[in-house]
Structure 1
Amino acid sequence: MTQAYVFTSHGGPETEALLELPDQPEPGPGQLLVAVRAAGVNPFDHKLRTGFQLPGAPPTQFPAVFGGEVAGVVQAVGPDVTGFAVGDAVFGSAVTGGYIESTLVPAAVAAHKPDALSFTDAATLPVAAATAYDGVNQLDLPKGATLLITGIGGGVGVAAAQIAVARGLRVVGTASAGKKEFVESLGATHVTPGPDVAARVRAVAPDGIDAVYDLVGGAALEAVAELVEDRTKLITAGDYATVTRLGGQPVQRLRNAEVLDRVAELAVSGALRPYVTRTFPLERAGEALRAVEEGHAQGKIVIEIGA
């Protein structure tokens, strides 16, 4: 049996439970069986619990294990997999959940963990950092351009800010007043969200905003959309319906090993600090989720599992 933190139906936190599940099956073609050492916590995790589904995704099967980004050690290698062996330290996107002691990871979305990177830090890269990297690449802004990131204080925002600053972009970010010092430590200009946020952004960026990378959605996205005339430069990592209505685009995720290798290189070089601000054991995964779901997270939260 393997221990996992799951949701047993769509709904609120009352649907969550720590359960013993049957061991994962042997990995199929193109898969790795990975003993999880750390799992990143993302807003997408609790959104799935409430019933959100990506277009074309199959119906959720219950109990459903939370989480999608992991770092751990290869336990078994499926047919047709090359470049990985039992005992390798890896990180990647899991197909059978992340808040679990053992999970299946497609080799195509896995990469070798550099020795200089801890399992905890590596677990922040497959979803949060890779999403940030893909979005900044998609915007393709020239050096000196100004990028606005809404919700800059979370895992994707923190990574996107650092990647953008490293490329010579000026970054403005919205976050609660309590995160001002943290946002400024990333090299970004802090702006509080809420009513008249567009006016506050204009005040700190009088030459204009060249692109918006949204990580909040809804009214927060609508409030800043007017700041960019070229709507190809308006992207979101979550609220696909709103951004499409406004003429923008979702972040185009590449989901490949090349991106994982690149963000790992950035992390090892120091250009991308994972900013893991809190860790929780698996039995306290619910607390980790609440911190993210209630908007209290600053930086990245990780669940540590196993040895």
Structure 2
Amino acid sequence: MPKAYVFTRYGGPETEELVEVDRPVPGPGQVLVAVRAAGVNPVDWKQRTGYRRPGETGERAFPAYFGNEVSGVVEELGAGVEGFAAGDAVFGRPVVGGYSEYALLSTDLIAHKPAGLSFIDAATLPVAAVTAYDGIRQLDLPAGATVLVTGAGGGVGVAAVQIARALGLRVVGVSSDGKKDFVEGLGAVHVPSGPGWTERVPGTVDGVYDLVGGEVLAQAATLLTDRTKLITAGAPPEVVERLGGARVARSRTSEGLAAAADLVVNGALDPHVTQTFPLERSGEALRTVEDGHARGKIVIEVAG
């Protein structure tokens, strides 16, 4: 039987387990994918604690799969699927599966993997890169403007900095002092996080893309004269709306996935995968992200 890394109830790392599961069966409009790689994101461990995305309803069935972005090879097609065939290399958002040997993907949340894109890099795009792309485009700043990115050293932040730079923006990246060289290497002006960080921001800021939330978001808002240029992927809608800003509007389409892939293939975006782990060490991969020490992107390599 195939294996998957799951959580058996809401709670901490003690709820996690590598288990054998039934091979999923694709329904109408779905494809079964043999997973090659799975991206690791903060939302993964947050879902283990009971977090739900805005608008998400219904009870979660246990055991619940970890993982929100995968790449792999199509094994089987559900009824009514067009445009995909067994053997196609694809990537996208799983409906079932994630840190697993097999996953089900809906055809509206999947894209063909370009030949010039590795399975590992493709597995970083459905959440991190697309979230970064959507947020920067939503800010709609003109070339030459300055955007400040909080959490600039994480998976989404790394992509946001590079996408903003590719669009001709000046970028100020806020992260821990230990990530200074890394963030500056992406082309951003680095500002160390911590008490009084807003006083260290050089010059004026035209837009903020927040990936941290909490007090960092509230402090970042004080840097703006136009609060409509405050976007967050790190806080609930009601929190940022009280500050005059908005939650990032996620596209969650195949077209968005393809656009992110093109950025990588064309050299405008490097996902900066800094560590890979086998499926059997999924817990270590998740701890690296959950503990806040990850630089760039962490990926679980399920098959070579």
| CA apart distance, 1:28 | 1.2
Q: How many residues align?
A: 302
Partner of 2:283: 286
Partner of 1:35: 34
Partner of 1:220: 216
Give the distance between the partners of 1:229 and 1:20, measured in 2 at CA.
54
| CA apart distance, 1:55 | 3.1
Partner of 1:156: 156
Check the 8 A contact 1:41/1:292 in 2, yes or no: yes
Indicate yes or no: 2:10 matched with 1:10: yes
Secondary structure at the aligned position of 1:149 is classed as: strand
Partner of 2:139: 139
Give the distance between the partners of 2:242 and 2:15, measured in 1 at CA.
32
Q: TM-score, normalised by structure 2?
A: 0.97
Q: Percent identity?
A: 63
- Match of 1:280, as an amino acid? F
Secondary structure at the aligned position of 2:240 is classed as: helix
- Match of 2:137, as an amino acid? N
Check the 8 A contact 1:132/1:157 in 2, yes or no: yes
Give the distance between the partners of 1:253 and 1:29, measured in 2 at CA.
24
Check the 8 A contact 1:2/1:22 in 2, yes or no: yes
Check the 8 A contact 1:194/1:220 in 2, yes or no: no
Partner of 2:274: 277
Give the distance between the partners of 1:146 and 1:55, measured in 2 at CA.
29
Give the distance between the partners of 1:217 and 1:196, measured in 2 at CA.
16
Partner of 1:49: 48
- Match of 1:53, as an amino acid? R
Check the 8 A contact 1:285/1:303 in 2, yes or no: yes
Indicate yes or no: 2:294 matched with 1:297: yes
Cα RMSD (Å) of the superposition?
0.9
Partner of 1:211: 207
Higher mean alpha-carbon deviation, 152-161 vs 235-244, is at: 235-244
Give the distance between the partners of 2:134 and 2:247, measured in 1 at CA.
11
Give the distance between the partners of 1:86 and 1:129, measured in 2 at CA.
26
- Match of 1:122, as an amino acid? A
Q: Deviations over 1:61-92 (max 9, x none)?
A: 11101001000000111122211000000000
Partner of 1:261: 258
Q: Deviations over 1:135-160 (max 9, x none)?
A: 11111110000000000001100001
Consecutive aligned runs of 4 or more in structure 1 exceeding 2 Å deviation: none
> What is the correspondence of 1:223-242 to structure 2 with a 5 Å cutoff?
223-240=219-236, 241-242=238-239
* Structure 1, gaps ≥5 residues long: none
Higher mean alpha-carbon deviation, 98-107 vs 54-63, is at: 54-63
Higher mean alpha-carbon deviation, 14-23 vs 229-238, is at: 229-238
Give the distance between the partners of 1:244 and 1:14, measured in 2 at CA.
35
Secondary structure at the aligned position of 1:53 is classed as: coil
Check the 8 A contact 1:67/1:98 in 2, yes or no: yes
Higher mean alpha-carbon deviation, 163-172 vs 256-265, is at: 256-265
> What is the correspondence of 1:84-163 to structure 2 with a 5 Å cutoff?
84-163=84-163
Q: TM-score, normalised by structure 1?
A: 0.96
Secondary structure at the aligned position of 1:108 is classed as: strand
Give the distance between the partners of 2:173 and 2:53, measured in 1 at CA.
26
